[in-house]
Amino acid sequence: MEYKKVEAPGSTVTRDPDRIGDITGNLYEAIVIAAKRADQIGLEMKDELYSKLEEFASHTDTLEEIFENREQIEISRFYERLPKPVSIALEQLKHDEIYHRYSSKESKK
């Protein structure tokens, strides 16, 4: 996913619960959908960060080399400045970019 192109706010924003609820017709349903998508985004970001940092990992570094690895520091700072996964998920939900479906409801006997 292209995180540089995401138009989600980078800081905390007050959101109108009525608008979030209007997306699916139920506020709690919209929150659950956004939370599940945020979990997916968070895992993607974490995996991507770890794979990039692993390129610079050396298991025989001295203590001075560990603290002076500028490439790792810049990569980490980039990911720290990205919008949070919840903000990205709410923006995707707002713009109808999340596919969600209902599981079949079986009648309980």
pLDDT value for 108: 45
**How far apart (Å, rounded) are the C-alpha atoms in residues 33 and 29?**
6
pLDDT at 6 over 60: yes
Helix, strand or coil, per DSSP, at residue 91: helix
Number of helical H runs and strand E runs in the chain: 5, 0
Between residues 7 and 75, the one the model is more confident about: 75
Q: What is the pLDDT of residues 46-75, one digit of tens each?
A: 998 888 888 776 666 565 555 667 788 888
Q: Domain extents for the chain?
A: 18-94
Q: What is the pLDDT of residues 10-39, one digit of tens each?
A: 677 788 888 888 888 889 999 999 999 999
**How far apart (Å, rounded) are the C-alpha atoms in residues 88 and 86?**
5
**How far apart (Å, rounded) are the C-alpha atoms in residues 67 and 7?**
33
